[in-house]
Homo-oligomer: A and B are copies of this chain.
Amino acid sequence: MEFKISKQLIAEIEQLIESGQDGQLETLLNDLHHADIAEILDELDVADATYIFKILDTDKTAEILLELDEETREDILEQLSPKEIAEELDALDTNDAVDIISELPQSIKEEVILELQDVEHAKDIVELLRYDEHTAGGLMHKELVKVNENWNVLTCVKEMRIQAENVTRVHSIYVVDDEDRLKGRLSLKDLLTTSTKTAIGDIYIRKLNSVKIDTEDVEVARIMQKYDLEAIPVVDEMGILVGRITIDDIVDVIKDEADKDYQLAAGITQDVEVGDSVLEMTKARLPWLLIGMVIELIASVVLKDNETAFKKYETLILFIPLLSATAGNIGVQASAIVVQGLANGSVKEFNRNYFSKEVTVSMISGIIISLLLLAYHSFMFGEYMVGIAISISMISVIMIAATLGTLVPLILNKYKIDPAIATGPFVTTTNDVVGIMLYFFIARTILSV
C-alpha cells in the first residue's frame, strides 16, 4: 500500500532526467503523493531536484515544497526567481506560505510578496507574517468556512460551496454576526442531518472554545487536546474571527515540545538533526559540555580537599563513580517524572503528598543499594566502619539527589525556565559535586579523619 523509495527508482529517475524524457518523468511522478516526491527530491542533487521541480505543475510543487527537508528546500528556492516562488506560494494555504516565506532572506522575501498574484491571499500572508510563530496567530490559517447567523441552511450550503473551494479541510463551520464576531459553530454533521429550510440561528452551537491571537502554541495544544478538538477558531481582541488552527498543526507543536524536553535532557540546546552541519551541532552541544566541565572542576577541588581522608581510607575513592552515577540516576528519574507531570498538567506546583512519595521511593532504593554496597565492601575489604561510612553517605546522597531532582524542575518552572533542563547535564553534574562533598563530609565524620 505505502510507497517505499528505492535505489533503483532514484537511478531510473536520474536516467530519465539525463536523457531529458520529461514525458515519462511526469507520468512516473504524477502517480506519486507529493510527500513521496519530496522524499525523492531529498535524495537527488540540487540540479536534478530543480529540474523535476520545474517540469511538475505548481499545485504539486507547492505541496512538495512543504514536505522537503529544510536544506533541499533552500537549495531549490535559490534556483527559483521571486516570481516563480510567488507562484508556488499562491497555490498554498496562507500559513504554509508564511512558513516558507519566513525561511527566505529578507531582500527576496519582499520581492516575493510583491509578486504574489492573489491580492486577498497576499494580504492574509502579510498579516500572518506579523505574528510570532509560537502563538496562535503564528499557527493559524486564514482559510476557514464561516456563515452568518442570519442565514438559513440552504443559503449556508450555497455559500459554503463557494468558500469550501479554498479550504483543504472543512471541519466545523463557524457562525459569525454581521461584524464578523464569532458567535458559535455549526457541525457538518448537524448540517447533513437537518432540513435545508432551518434557520442557522436555530441549529448552531453557541458554546465553543476559541483562542486569542496571542495565546502560546503549547497552550493551544493543551486546550485542543483537553477538549479533543480537531480545529479551534482564533479571535482578536474584539472577538472577531481572524483564523483557524487545525489539529495537524498542533501535532507538530506536541512533537516539538516532547523532542525539546528529550534534547534538553540530553544536553542539546537547539533542535539539531542528523542533517545539520558540524558547526550547528557543535554550537548546540559544546556549551553543555563546558558547563559540565567547569562544574566537575569544582569536584576536583573537593577531592583535593579530602586527600587526607582517602589517603587514609583509600577504598573511599573506589566508590566515587558508583556514588556519582547513582546520585545522577536517581536525580534524573525524580526530575523526569516531575517534568512530565508539569507538561501534562498533573503537576502544577510543589505538592506535599507527591514529595513524600518521592522521598519514600528514594529511601527504599537508597536502603537497598546501601545494604548491597555494605555487603560488597565488607566482603571485599573487611574494614566494617569504612563500609558503614560509605553506605550511610550513599543513602544520604541518594536522598539529597531525589530531593533536588524533585524540587529543581518545580523551581525552574516557577521562574519560567524550561524544567526539562533539570534532567540535563547542568543539574546532573551539580548533583555529582554536591554528592561527593556530602560523601566525604559524612565519611570523615564517621571515621573522624
Residues of A at the B interface (CB closer than 8 Å) are: 1-2, 33, 35, 157, 160-161, 164-165, 167, 169-170, 188-189, 192-193, 209-212, 223, 225-228, 230, 247-248, 250-251, 254-255, 258-259, 261-263, 265-268, 272-275, 278, 281-282, 285-286, 288-290, 292-293, 295-297, 299-301, 303-304, 307, 310, 314, 317-322, 324-326, 328-330, 332-333, 335-341, 346-347, 351, 354, 357-358, 360-361, 364-365, 368-369, 372-373, 376, 423, 425, 428-429, 432-433, 436
With beta carbons under 8 angstroms apart, the residue of B2, B288, B289, B324 that contacts A223 is B2
With beta carbons under 8 angstroms apart, the residue of B193, B274, B354 that contacts A164 is B193
With beta carbons under 8 angstroms apart, the residue of B227, B258, B318, B425 that contacts A304 is B318
Residue of B nearest to A63 (CB): B228
Q: A1-B210, A368-B286 are in contact. Are A192 and B157 (CB under 8 A)?
A: yes
What chain B residues lie within 8 Å of A335 (beta carbons)? 266
A329 touches B288 (CB 8 A): yes
B267 touches A296 (CB 8 A): no
Interchain nearest-CB distance for A381 vs B (Å): 9
B35 touches A226 (CB 8 A): yes
A262 touches B336 (CB 8 A): yes
B346 touches A266 (CB 8 A): no
A285 to B169: give the CA distance in the assembly, Å.
45
Known: A265-B266, A293-B325, A295-B325. 4 other contacts (CB 8 A): A273-B341, A278-B360, A300-B321, A304-B318
A102 to B212: give the CA distance in the assembly, Å.
39
With beta carbons under 8 angstroms apart, the residue of B211, B258, B324 that contacts A259 is B258
With beta carbons under 8 angstroms apart, the residue of B210, B292, B318 that contacts A303 is B318
Residue of B nearest to A219 (CB): B2
B188 touches A188 (CB 8 A): yes
A16 to B369: give the CA distance in the assembly, Å.
51
A361 to B332: give the CA distance in the assembly, Å.
26
What chain B residues lie within 8 Å of A1 (beta carbons)? 209-212
